[in-house]
Amino acid sequence: MSADVVAQLRAELGDRVDVSPAALAAARADKSGHAASGTPLAVVHAACVADVRAVMRIATATRTPVVPRGAGTGLAGGANTGGGEIALSLRAMDRILEIRPDDLLAVVEPGILNADLNALLEPHGVWWAPDPASRAISTVGGNIATGAGGLLCAKYGVVRDAVLGVDLVLADGRLLHLGHRSVKGVTGLDLTSLVIGSEGTLGIVVGATLKLRRLIAGERVTLTALFDGVRDAAAASAAVTASGIQPAIMELMDATSLAAVHRLLSLPVPTPGAAQLTVQTDGPVAADEARAIADVLRALGGRVRVAADDEEGETLLAVRRALHPAMETLGTTLVEDVSVPRSALPAMFDAIARIEREYGLVIPTVAHAGDGNLHPNFVFEGPDVPEVVWTAAEDLFRAALALGGTLTGEHGIGVLKRRWLADELGDDQWRLQRDIARVFDPLGILNPGKVFAV
C-alpha cells in the first residue's frame, strides 16, 4: 500500500516527491529534540496550491496521514512525521502575492520566512508585527499554525491579532477562503481564528492575508537592568506593567541563562546570581518612556544601562536572541512554554526555584516579561527526556495553571503536551475541540496524534 501511495504522488507531482534518506530523516524531527517513530513515506515539496490539493486528494483516497511542515523550527513536536505518513512541506511556497500599504494588508504564501517578509515590506513603509525569537528561520505559515508570539507582542499583539484571513486546503482537497480583507468582518463564525494555532489539525494553510502596521515613527531606546536575583527582576517587570508604561520589548533572563549566553558570545561574566531585564521603548515618546522605566527599575534595585544608539541597542537585544544556541551548550534541553498573569511572574519564578531544588534539576528560564510568557529550559544529558524531567515539567505546568496561567503561550501542544491538555481545558471542552477537528477531518488524516492524544 505504501508503495502505491508514493507511486500515485509521483505520478501527480513528479520530482517534488522526495524519498531520499536525508529528507525522510529530517522530516521526523523539529527543534524540540523529539523525533517521530518510524520513517515517513515521502516528503512532498509543494510548489503551489494545486500541489497541496493533489496531495490531500491522494491522501483521502488512500487513508494516508499527512503532516504539514514549514521550516521545522517548532518546539512541541507538532510537525514531526512518522512511519506511514506523508510530510507535506510548504517551505518552497514563499512568495508575497500582494502588498497593499493603502489597506495595510499583504497576501503571502506560507513558506516565506518571518524576517524575509518584513525586509520586503519595509520599502513600502509597513511591517508585520509578530516577532518570534526564531523570526530569521521560522515561516509565516508555521507562525500561524502555532499561534506564535515573540518579543514585541506585549505592545503589538501576537499572530492572532495580525491575520485577516487564510486560504485553507481541507483533508479532502477542497480549498476554502476564510476571513476577509476589510478591517471589520463578523459574517458567520470566525473560522480564521479557529485555524490559527490549530497546528495543522484542521487543514493546510496555503495562503494568508496579513494585517500590517505602519513603520513606527520616532526613535527606539534600549536599556538593561541587572538585579541580584530573578525574583527581584520579575517583581520589577511587574512594577513596570503596573506603572502604565507600555514598552515594546521587556525580556527577562535568569542567572543561568544569562551566564550561558555571555559565555557563548564571549562577553564578560555577569555577577553570580544576577538576572537581567532588557527593555526597549519606541515611538515619538520613546526617550521619555525609557527614562520613566529606568526610574522604576532603579527604585527596585536595578543597575540600569541605557544604550547610546540603535547599534548598541541591537547588541543588547542580541544577548536575549542568543538564548537557544546558548542552551545547546549546556546539554540537551526541553524548551517549555507557559504563561501566567504578569503580576504572577514572581510567584512563578518561586515555583521554578522550588522545582529545581526538589527534583535536582537545572532549569534556566527566560521570559517575555511584558506579557507573562516564560520559557523554562530543562537541561539533561543524552537524547531521551528522563522521566524525572517529565515529572518536574508536570509540576511546573500545574503551578502555572494554579496561578491562572496556561500550558503554552506560543509553542503549541504538538505531541509533547497533549497528555496535559484536558487538565487545562476540562473534559467537556477537550471533547468539543476534538469533535470540531473531526468535522474538518473526518478520517483523522491531518497531523494525527498531535494536540489530541486520541
Domain count for the chain, please give it: 4
Residue 408: predicted pLDDT: 94
* Cβ neighbours of residue 120 closer than 8 Å, sequence gap 6 or more: 96, 99
Let me know whether 163 and 75 are in one domain.
no
Domain boundary among the residues 294, 322, 350 is at 322
10-19, 254-263, 328-337: segment of lowest average pLDDT = 328-337
Residues 45 and 126 in one domain: no
Do residues 207 and 249 share a domain?
no
What residues make up the domain containing 429? 330-439
191 lies in the same domain as 285: no
In a domain, 445, yes or no: no
Question: pLDDT class for 426, splitting at 50, 70, 90?
Answer: very high
CATH number of the domain within which 28 lies? 3.30.43.10
Tell whether the model's pLDDT for residue 453 goes beyond 80. Answer: no
354-358: average pLDDT = 97
User: 344 pLDDT exceeds 80?
Assistant: yes
The pLDDT value recorded for residue 427 is: 96
All three cell numbers of 301, joined, read 534595585
CATH number at residue 405: 3.30.70.2740
Whether 117 and 108 have beta carbons less than 8 Å apart is answered as yes
Confidence of residue 156 (pLDDT cuts 50, 70, 90): very high
The number of beta carbons lying within 10 Å of the beta carbon of residue 426 is 10
Share of the chain above pLDDT 70, in %: 100
Residue 13 within any structural domain of the chain = yes
- Encoded amino acid at 442, one letter: P
- Would you report the helix, strand and coil content of the chain in percent, each value rounded to 5? 40, 20, 40
As a whole number, mean pLDDT of residues 264-274 equals 93
Answer with the one of 179, 199, 214 that is the final residue of a domain: 214
Q: Is residue 444 part of a domain?
A: no
Within a domain: 284: yes
Residues 352 and 302 both lie in one domain: no
Per-residue pLDDT for 1 more than 80? no
- What does the DSSP assignment read for 311-348? HHHHHHHHHHHTHHHHHHTTSEEEE--EE--GGGHHHH
| pLDDT tens per residue, range 295-327 | 999 999 999 999 999 999 999 999 998 998 999
Using an 8 Å Cβ cutoff, are 106 and 210 in contact? yes
Q: What does the mean pLDDT of the chain come to?
A: 95
Mean pLDDT of the 374-383 span: 92
What's the pLDDT tens digit per position in 23-81?
999 999 998 888 999 999 999 999 999 999 999 999 999 999 999 999 999 989 999 99
pLDDT above 80 (res 134): yes
Question: pLDDT value at position 78?
Answer: 95
Return the pLDDT at 109: 98
